Amino acid sequence: MTSTMWTGSGREGVGMKVTASVWIDRPVGEVYALIATPAHDPLWREGLLKMSADQPGPVQDGMITTDVLTFLGTVHTTRCVVSQVREGSSYQFRSVEGATAVRGSRLTVAEAGGTRFVGTLELGLTGALRLASPLLKLLSRQRFGRELARLKRHLEAQSAGQRSSLASLP
């Protein structure tokens, strides 16, 4: 846990940062297309009850997303603005509304014939949540790991299914 203070959505708090990565046996374009389209988030994000964006398709600078998810038995709704989109590579987001300040990024990089996906999530913890930050960081890190494993399985299984379908064609 970092002890720096930061502001997001008008709230200050102790910054808790979690970063996770996974190598996926798929080209960067395929991985980015999935992770950069908010409508696809339910395919891999754990506890996501609803995901919407103010415009369809892949992320764009200024896009507003709204996610409703469960964590530790509580439902959280967060609206974020997307920024610094580098199409086919990365983007950032930060909360503009919600109980906890959130910011993060998603990055895809070609590596060893596949793609390295790196996700970062930062939470601005206030009040009692500051005291629970070591536990929250551990639980968030575990959840993030499960999500990335799910993303990898989804992309690689989808690809394997497409390859086997193509192999059976005359």
Give 83-123 pLDDT, tens digit per residue. Answer: 999 999 999 999 999 988 999 999 999 999 999 999 999 99
85 within some domain: yes
pTM score, whole prediction: 0.84
Q: Which domain holds residue 13?
A: 5-162
86 within some domain: yes
- CA distances (Å), 148 to each of 12, 20, 62, 64, 164, in order? 29, 8, 25, 23, 24
167 within some domain: no
122 within some domain: yes
33 within some domain: yes
126 within some domain: yes
> What CATH number corresponds to the domain at position 29?
3.30.530.20
Number of domains in the chain: 1
170 within some domain: no
118 within some domain: yes
Name the strand (E) or helix (H) holding 130: helix 128-131
Per-residue pLDDT tens digits for 79-94 = 999 999 999 999 999 9
